Structure 1
Amino acid sequence: MPDLQPFENRSADHLRLVLESGQIGIWELELQSGLAVRNGTHDEIFGYDQPLASWSYGQFLDHVVDADRARVDDLQKTAVEESREWSFECQIRTFRGDIRWIRAAGCPLKDAEARIVKLIGHVIDITDSKESQARLRLITSELNHRVRNMLSMIKSLVRMSARGATDISQFARSLEGRVGALARTHQLLIAHSPDSMKPSAILKAELSAFRGYEGRFDIAVSDEAALSASASQGLSLIFHELVTNAVRYGALSVESGRVEVRIARSDGAVEVSWKECGGPAVSPDRTEGFGSVLIARALAADGTSELNFAPSGVECHIVLDVA
């Protein structure tokens, strides 16, 4: 190739650089004896700290995991019979006992009588790439699941908000606030930090939408745990309804009112206690509105929530299931 002519005198140096920087193992297999010569990187890929004195096709097959061995061997035989490239991916068990992924390719070499006498090729470790692909598939699957759940929840919010609204502006305000609560929780979920999915973090995120009221909360956490995505979304909606109602009608609607929140962990669950005090007296004859219905249903199978309109202030006891 004309473009390679300037490198002909240094071709061995360039090849060595490519092999070392790319961590590429190369091999040359003699078909009659089954013995192969190879570089040091080849043996390192198969888990050997020092190059072995000899290497055979049988040794290679012994490293290939049981589930892949017959397929790889059949591909090699077909490549020789049809005089074409031998290319495959498979898992191997290294000398150290680790399971790794490799990608290998080889091509036949013929003698003066056009008989295939050797295969030459290369092998690389692709374990990191395979693990990245698996993580990407997992993340994509989780994202699809979360988006479906989010859309279902928004659909329910639209339907239920419309049912309780008296005019378009009220409907828009209530829906915007509830969807905003979901959006704030989504930001916590994509942070990929277990701490961001704990009840205290979800509450603080919700309070960030109610500037000026954070100092009127007494929050005590004795122990807590990270929640699932669906439980986090449900809890954010509950907190949004509780804070909204407290600001409009409850303890936070007057200067003297405060809210106590206690978070503690029990066997297989995290309990959240919400208690308002110092606000207007609560009427025992309150009718159940959409907010109350949402609080009761938001957690679905992830826990329970019980709302109590005590005369001294609204109380809510939330139990969240955790693994």
Structure 2
Amino acid sequence: MKSELEQPVGLPYAPLAVGGAVFIACLLGISTRPPGFIAMVWPANAIMLGLLVRIPCARRATTWLVAAFAYMAADLVAGTDFAKAILLNTANLCGIGAGYVAYRYLPRDALRMREPASALYVILLSAAASVGAGVVGAVGDPFLLQIGMNNAAILWAVTELVNYIALLPVILSAQKFGARLLFVNRVSISTYLRAALPTLALAASCCFAAALGGPGAIALAVPALLWCGLSYSVFVVSVLSFAFSCWSLTILCAAYVQGSGAVVDEHALVSMRLAAFVIALAPTTLAIVMRRMVELNEKLSFTRQSADMAMNAGGIVATWDLNLGLRTLSVEGSFLRMFNLESQPKAIPLEVLSRLMHPDDRDRVWDALGNSIATDTDYHCRYRLVTPQGEIRWFAAFGKPSRDNQHAVSNLTGILVDVTEHAHAVEALEQSNTRFNIVSESIPQIVWSTDSKGRHDYFNSRWAEFTGVSPEETSFDTWERLVHPDDKPRVDESWRACLASGETYSIDYRFRYRDGSYRWLKVLAKPFWNDEGEIVRWYGTSTDINDAKELEAERELVSRELDHRIGNLFALVNGLVALSARHGTDLKSATDDLRGRLSALHGAHVLIRGNGQGQSATLAELLWQLLAPYHNGGDHITIAGDEVAVDASAMTSVALIFHELATNAVKYGALGDSTGHLSIMLTHNGERVRIVWEEVSGAQAATAQGSGFGSKLFTSIVEAQLRGTATRSWSPEGLTVDIDVPASSLERNARG
């Protein structure tokens, strides 16, 4: 994982970038080199080491080769002897190598310049590089400075140390373009002017020190540098410290060398450079500390804001600490403002809090507190407090005990949550549930509810009374097992459709009663929608309508039967009256004819009633009863074939159609001709009954006898009531009527 300190640079250009920077830095350093001495300011080594730390892709052999070439090129351009250039740059590269090796052993992100420890790591890195350069410089002293190996090692190492200390922080703390450089939150013109004051003070201090002269004059800039360390970012302070180091080492040390003539005290140069090292390090370290303080303050402020937001979101109105020895409560939060306690001392006496408690809750609060202390357990308690405005609010207190050195409970620390809205909501919900339970238990219907998927999760007590299934034995799908099997497909289809559409569920079906029988229920349910338009629950009732269903069926049966019989009676009487009047020669004959027909019909009715028992009779018995008024003995009328039973409910219909045929036969056919003959053949093949009515008459058969009321009545009864067919055919001998009906229509009258 890449360190935050490392910066991505294009791989092909990294060696060239490092080499170019080293070449320019060498030329700048050579310009500060007094004759016969090493340079007062030598930034090249610090720049190369800093770039190796910041640019991972520069850590290649190519970079070292390009850098070595840049070192040699700069010295040769400046006119340095080739042999001396080799020695000088060997010392430079060895020092850089020693520093890079030390960097590889430092902790990750140790040089991010965000922790005070970063200053110590910079010193360690600089010391390693300085020692490496000092050792090589001491070895080459006979060919370079010729001041003795010890003195050369010290002078060289100290000079390198000062350069590393001064420049490495600049490179390591450099930010991306556009990063904030000053510790300024609100930027304005006046702010920029105030921010420039430390820099102006530093410049003025340097001018005054130069005018004063002497090695100790550099200390005059220390206050201004510290001011810069308090005001600016680490990078800006590092730049100013480096600029100050360059100025102090170049101007003051050069002035000392020139003023000392031929005799130069190397120890004086070392001391001046060490002084520059300490002065350059102090403001940078201070800037790191200040930056860390700013970051910590920002984190603390953010944490406090987050904590306040979390407390407000969670209803936390206070954090508290109860001192059991002093019987005082330290409180922070909006609780103080809520109860006008802001003017109270920081440690509020418990008596003040006790006066705020609702009288009914006071003993319970102290009992819970005493139990927590005695058992060393967490403190939980809900109670009411009365505000100065007289408002009663609910609070929940949570606390944990802590022990002192004698292992005795000395404090309780916790939070206070305002749960007034929650308490009111719970109270309203309880009242709503109570009202619902009272209503649901006071009505005779089964009251139930389901979730959004239609799974039943509530039944009132009527459920157990009706089904005999206790609430403990009731599951989501219990009701499905109790629906009548014949009704279940219809019930399932309707319920699924309503669940999908949200339409009102209304259906009648049979449900198993506690005795095992099935009773009719009227089921009605409506969905409950949330604010997003989604169904969250269904609420419904199931009403026992079995008695009403049975009564309705009986009434319908009686009504239809009565309508049918009354209609048949009027139609029959009207037809008989019309037939008798039309064919009677006088009133007496018409009356006798009508009386005979009515008597025949009465006889059929007596047969239908079966002596008051409503029992069935055979079709042959009914036909003989109907044709008795027209039978003159002999074989004038014959009835043959299978025995066909006719249910009492079909008797009237059968009697009417054969009375119509007999009436027409009297008027136009075999029964009106003394030589005529009527034969009826009955055939029963199990599912169908066939009746062949055949008339043979000497008279011409009347082919127009199918358009009157009687014929229409005949057709209506055969096709509509008996669900059969009838065909009429005429021949010179007479009329043939072929009737084919289902056997079931004679056993039970079909009501269409």
More helix by share: 2
Q: Which of the pair has more CA radius of gyration? A: 2
Which structure is richer in relative contact order (CA contacts within 8 A, separation 6 or more)? 1
TM-score normalised to structure 2 length: 0.25
